[in-house]
Amino acid sequence: MSTVKKRIALFGSTGSIGKQTLEVVAANPHLFEISVLTAHKNADLLIEQALKFNPNVVVIVDKAGYPKVNEALKNSDVKVYTGEEALISVAQMAEIDIVLTALVGFSGLKPTIAAIEAGKNIALANKETLVVAGEIVTKLAKEKGVNIYPVDSEHSAIFQCLTGEAMNPIEKIYLTASGGPFRGKKREDLASITKAQALKHPNWEMGAKITIDSASMMNKGLEVIEAKWLFGLTNQQIDVIVHPQSIIHSLVQFKDGSMKAQMGLPDMKLPIQYALTYPQRFETDFERFDFLNYPNLTFEKPDLDTFRNLQLAYDAMEKGGNLPCVLNAANEVTVEAFLNDKIKFLDIAEINEKVLAMANFSANPSLTSLYTTDLEARHLASEIISKL
Ligand code: NDP
Ligand code: MG
């Protein structure tokens, strides 16, 4: 084993995945070194992290936070940059071995592409990047000889099941879904859902956007599209099964009918660590799974009528082109509006569906045209919301 430490650029270090990544790094100082940390607005936490992990560079994207971070780090060796463009340049720094993308939403796309262009391997948490531009991103990664290691637990599970199976074609995969806090509920039950109820996920503690996406099952829809591009699957090869205990993280079914599943207690630190150390596994002190605590692992069919967003994601994937980008943009706007008490829970999927129907379709979008699509879909969603 090489004793050279892996140098990590951690994009979105102040978020849920970012913080857990730093826990993994702190527990394994012999394996990892932090080169870059980035935050959007959370200057205080970024400063604290910078003082602890001593990176070469930090980026506070929001310019209003720059003076504070700069002042706090002026007596350290840490360089402080600001602005979106800074994310692009630091993604390409020579010293970096791997970029862990834990930004949320469309904001992850540009820096991820910049990192791939520079030949950096990617540990990908930011699923929206593959939803928006999966074809372009995976093609570019192939051209540049870059590996994309999944951080998302379901995709990490599939990736782990596929290790050692390069010669064996996949028949299909099953992505497991917890079903979120509203599993078993019907549309009429969801009409008066509050933000606090939607923010309470039964099994995972995550950032606000993905928590709402989990409650509406948009998260699983985004993950279906993410899986298509990560593993080069056809739409028909991807199935979703609701598994409320979140112990089986996903499964692969091979052509001989054999199924491999990856299991364990829900803890994002495990897929984060595996994405950073693949193909090796290193010891952890994470809590171990005990069968006797889970005598019943159960499975259900997803309810696509109540959780429309999952159906919308399948539809957008089937029609392809720029529609997954449209759906993602609409959903970012509607989730934000829901979090700001501007719309109701069921409006999220309803508005997403309207925007999908209204946006200009393009079958083979370029990267530039996806930026236009993203803006157009955001505009359409905002218009609908403003007229409610
Ligand atoms: P959080 O909202 O907790 O964190 C997001 C991070 O990105 C923060 O560091 C935030 O900075 C930064 N950020 C937000 N907006 C921007 C922007 N416009 N430009 C630059 N930086 C920005 O999200 P999560 O950690 O929950 O999720 C991150 C990604 O990982 C998402 O794509 C999510 O789908 C995926 N994921 C998350 C899982 C989880 O368990 N949380 C599981 C699987 C996937 P600041 O703090 O300063 O606002
Ligand atoms: Mg997931």
**Span 58-70, pLDDT tens digits:** 999 999 999 999 9
CATH for 320-388? 1.10.1740.10
Residue 365 has pLDDT above 80, yes or no: yes
What is the C-alpha to C-alpha distance for residues 161 and 341, in angstroms, rounded to an integer? 41
Structure tokens at 10: 């951690």
Q: Indicate if ligand 1 lies below 6 Å from the C-beta of 59.
A: no
pLDDT reading at 1 higher than 70: no
> What does the domain layout of the chain look like in residue ranges?
6-150, 153-267+293-305, 320-388
Closest CA to 312 of 327, 333, 301, 302: 327
Instruction: Determine the Cα–Cα distance for residues 220 and 1; give it in Å rounded to an integer.
Output: 37
> Can you tell me the distance from the alpha carbon of 151 to that of 67, in angstroms, rounded to the nearest whole number?
33
Question: Cα(250)–Cα(239) distance, rounded to whole angstroms?
Answer: 10
User: Taking 90 as the threshold, does the pLDDT of residue 101 lie above it?
Assistant: yes
Ligand 1 centroid–CA 15 distance in Å is 5
Grouping H, G, I as helix, E, B as strand and the rest as coil, residue 1 is coil
DSSP state of 203: S
| Residue 40 CB–ligand 1 contact under 6 Å | yes
* Residue nearest ligand 1's atom 4 by CA: 15
| Residue 324 Cβ contacting ligand 1 at under 6 Å | no
Tell me which ligand sits closest to the C-alpha of residue 246. 2
**Per-residue pLDDT at 3:** 65
Distance CA 315, CA 300 (A): 21
The Å distance, Cα 8 to ligand 1 centre, comes to 17
Check pocket membership of 16 for ligand 1, CB cut-off 6 A.
Answer: yes
Residues 68-95 pLDDT 10s: 999 999 999 999 999 999 999 999 999 9
Q: Is the pLDDT of residue 281 over 90?
A: yes
- Output the DSSP codes for 277-306: HTT------PPPP-GGG-S----B---TTT
**CA 47 to centroid of chain Cα atoms:** 24
Q: Ligand 1 center to residue 338 CA distance, Å?
A: 17
pLDDT at residue 204 in the model: 85
Q: Is residue 183 over pLDDT 70? A: yes
210 lines ligand 1 (CB under 6 A): yes
Give residue 201's pLDDT. 86
Shortest-distance Cα residue to atom 23 of ligand 1: 207
CB atoms under 10 Å from CB of 295, counted, come to 6
CA–CA gap between residue 139 and residue 172 (Å, rounded): 22
65 lines ligand 1 (CB under 6 A): no
pLDDT at 8 over 80: yes
Atom of ligand 1 nearest to the CA of 268: 40
* Residues 240-258 pLDDT 10s: 999 999 999 999 999 999 9
Q: What is the pLDDT of residue 158?
A: 98
Ligand 1 atom 12, closest CA: 12
- Nearest residue to 223 via CA among 278, 173, 162, 279: 173
Distance 314 CA to ligand 2 centre (A): 16
* Chain-centre distance for alpha carbon 125: 4
The mean pLDDT of 149-168, rounded to a whole number, is: 98
Sign (positive/negative) of CA torsion 70, 72, 78, 84? negative
Give one DSSP letter per residue of 247-283, joined into a string: -EEEEEEETTS-EEEEE----THHHHHHHHHTT----
Does the pLDDT of residue 354 top 70, yes or no? yes
Whether 339 has a pLDDT exceeding 90, the answer reads: yes
Question: What pLDDT score was predicted for residue 42?
Answer: 98
pLDDT at 309 over 70: yes
pLDDT mean over 368-381: 98
Predicted confidence at residue 363, as pLDDT, reads 98
Q: Ligand 1: which residue has its CA nearest to atom 32?
A: 126
Residue 313 has pLDDT above 70, yes or no: yes
pTM assigned to the model = 0.98
| 157 touches 275 (CB < 8 A) | no
> Residue 37 carries which side chain, given as an amino acid letter?
L
- Ligand 1 center from residue 108 Cα (angstroms): 9
- In the predicted model, what is the mean pLDDT of the chain? 97
- Average pLDDT, integer, range 354-383: 98
pLDDT at 229 over 90: yes
Residue 272 near ligand 1, beta carbon < 6 Å: no
Ligand nearest the Cα of residue 82 is 1
Shortest-distance atom of ligand 1 to CA 61: 20
Does ligand 1 come within 6 angstroms of the Cβ of 262? no
For residue 203, the model assigns a pLDDT of 87
Q: What is the sign, positive or negative, of the torsion defined by CA atoms of 246, 252, 253, 258?
A: negative
pLDDT band at 108 (very low <50, low <70, confident <90, very high): very high
Q: How do residues 340-349 score in pLDDT, each as one tens digit?
A: 999 999 999 9
Q: Which ligand lies nearest to the CA atom of residue 206 in the structure?
A: 1
Token pair for 189: 């039950």
| Residues in the 5 Å CB sphere of ion ligand 2 | 152-154
Packing angle of the helix pair 218-231, 153-162 (nearest 10 deg)? 30
| Residue pair 316/356 in contact by the 8 Å Cβ criterion | yes
Q: Which atom of ligand 1 is closest in space to residue 153's alpha carbon?
A: 43
CATH class of 6-150: alpha beta
Cα atoms in the Cβ-side hemisphere of radius 13 Å centred on 352: 34
Residue nearest to atom 40 of ligand 1 (CA): 206
Cβ of 18 closer than 6 Å to ligand 1, yes or no, is: yes
pLDDT at 303: 98
